Structure 1
């Protein structure tokens, strides 16, 4: 009896310690938010096919399709079952990897996504790496050069240029890059995924705007950090300039950059839809456009789920990264 009581007291103590731990509360809160977000995403994806006016099966098969074919297709998709049964079946399919069958190609949706996801993922990752490689060094350099009101003309030119490039739509950039470097100069392929050179124009189309925006934010953050007291103290200790800028100022300036970087990565994933269409890229973006035009709603549902899950994962990674870099934000939220 004494042993049971001691074990129970230890469990209660461990539970109280875990409940009072800031990181445990942070993890539980973020996990609960993720679960709710996933449920909302899945439910919205399920309701998509039911909120569309008219009969989606007839719309996808065309007006000449016979009634027997329409009934057979509706039965195959489970659209003649009660709504709650359809929802339960859809939930089961999502968690088991069975996203249904394409209306037009009769292929499993999971197979279509498995074939088209790697090109889109590679395009988004390469674009994000280009954004980081270009924007962070450029933003840091401009912050150092323009600190304390120095180099006003340089600051004006940089700010104006970054605003212009940051406001240009990525698909419009893609059309311009195709005309200049593919049609006129013939340096890169016009469209398609044929080799390493075929990545250049789509990656630039996706990365130029976000790189300009992130570089502008990095410059502002760097200028602000360089005026902080701890940087003045580091200068008073006569530390090397490189150590002050990279060892002291840069880590503090990266907090806002990581937050914006997560948003930019989410925008890059969404931006692949238009850029892939411009460059005839065989990814999820061009596939969802073709599926919408063909009214192939099971494929649209599956790709929406993938895009939504990608954005949720990116936001989770950003939150965890910010918590590790700035634990005070976790304590403040808790």
Structure 2
């Protein structure tokens, strides 16, 4: 075999990088399948008893358990669950007997809408804010920024959502407190999800921007008396994107978790409220399906960030970069 043919028989750095990341997503998916199956069975209570009713006899409960497939051993239930996943079948809701896939297809767009808008808000606010604070370079500004972002970033999303409802919906009466009927109903839940992420992301951007602005090439660019907009957008911003995306990808993926929690505060008809209802009713298939889909979405989001990093920083392809 020729040397060229030998080289052609092995995947290149980009292909190996993609395969490593896809293998990571596959490992996350397998872990999620096992953990979600085991997790729901740790929820106290008997789904069959809850579904049959408080006055149900032992025979009725046993019959309900058989209908739900809960009379089988755990290994058999797990094998049925995995087999259904390979067929694209997430099972039927214990409560409504509706396919879990249909429930997710109905609810996921609402959750995705909140998460997507929150990501846009985080990026639109955190990058210019962090860059502006780093460019100003004043100790008082930096201390105020650190204190404010640390304070807001430490507040849980559901607490922040409750405070926003009290202020803007109940006290001021300018925004709806719940529902998804009109565009203004998006404002408070998106704000509750995006504000903590914006604060954390802005601190990352500020730290990385301060490092970039201290480099020699930035001093040279300042010496050329370039306009500030050109200086920061063409010279500083591209050089801080790699490190920012590395940590920012984790923050953005976590917004999905925040979305699920905030939905319950604002009665948003997404997957979060459905998961809460399913937990209270011990509806195993719905819990498993929703958690699995949300976990896979977070893993895919991280995969996309990794691929963007590989394009921006070729060193990441071989694991020698900052990633």
* Common topology (TM > 0.5): yes
Q: 2:125 aligns with which of 134, 146, 155?
A: 134
Structure 1 62/256 Cα, relative in aligned 2: closer, same or farther at 3 Å?
farther
Decide which moves more: 130-139 or 70-79. 70-79
The answer on 1:106 being equivalent to 2:93 is: no
Offset of residue 25 of structure 1? 1.8
Query: What residue in structure 2 maps to residue 308 of structure 1?
Result: 295
The answer on 1:256 being equivalent to 2:243 is: yes
User: Deviation digits for residues 162-210 of structure 1, max 9, x if unmatched?
Assistant: 1111111111111111111111111111111120010011111111111
Q: 1:214 aligns with which of 196, 201, 205?
A: 201
Query: What residue in structure 2 maps to residue 123 of structure 1?
Result: 114
Offset of residue 237 of structure 1? 4.4
- Secondary structure in structure 1 of the residue aligned to 2:173: coil
Counterpart-to-counterpart distance in 2, 1:99 and 1:15: 44
Structure number, greater radius of gyration: 1
Query: What residue in structure 1 maps to residue 80 of structure 2?
Result: 89
Query: What residue in structure 1 maps to residue 273 of structure 2?
Result: 286
Matching of residues 10-49 of structure 1 within 5 Å = 13-14=4-5, 16-17=7-8, 19=10, 21-49=12-40
Counterpart-to-counterpart distance in 2, 1:111 and 1:71: 28
CA contact 1:19–1:25 (8 Å) conserved in 2: no
- Secondary structure in structure 1 of the residue aligned to 2:229: helix
Offset of residue 60 of structure 1? 4.6
CA contact 2:13–2:318 (8 Å) conserved in 1: yes
Query: What residue in structure 2 maps to residue 3 of structure 1?
Result: none
Offset of residue 21 of structure 1? 2.3
The answer on 1:58 being equivalent to 2:77 is: no
Structure 1 58/325 Cα, relative in aligned 2: closer, same or farther at 3 Å?
same
Offset of residue 76 of structure 1? 3.2
- Secondary structure in structure 2 of the residue aligned to 1:19: coil
Offset of residue 281 of structure 1? 0.8
Query: What residue in structure 1 maps to residue 319 of structure 2?
Result: 332
Counterpart-to-counterpart distance in 1, 2:226 and 2:8: 42
Query: What residue in structure 1 maps to residue 151 of structure 2?
Result: 164
Structure 1 87/14 Cα, relative in aligned 2: closer, same or farther at 3 Å?
farther
Offset of residue 62 of structure 1? 4.2
Decide which moves more: 14-23 or 271-280. 14-23
Counterpart-to-counterpart distance in 2, 1:331 and 1:18: 19
Query: What residue in structure 1 maps to residue 217 of structure 2?
Result: 230
Query: What residue in structure 2 maps to residue 175 of structure 1?
Result: 162
User: Deviation digits for residues 56-97 of structure 1, max 9, x if unmatched?
Assistant: 423454443334443343333333345444333212322333
In proportion to residue count, which structure has more helix?
Answer: 1
Decide which moves more: 70-79 or 300-309. 70-79
Query: What residue in structure 1 maps to residue 183 of structure 2?
Result: 196
CA contact 2:48–2:68 (8 Å) conserved in 1: no
Counterpart-to-counterpart distance in 2, 1:142 and 1:60: 56
The answer on 1:243 being equivalent to 2:230 is: yes
- Secondary structure in structure 2 of the residue aligned to 1:210: helix
TM-score (norm 2): 0.91
Counterpart-to-counterpart distance in 2, 1:175 and 1:318: 31
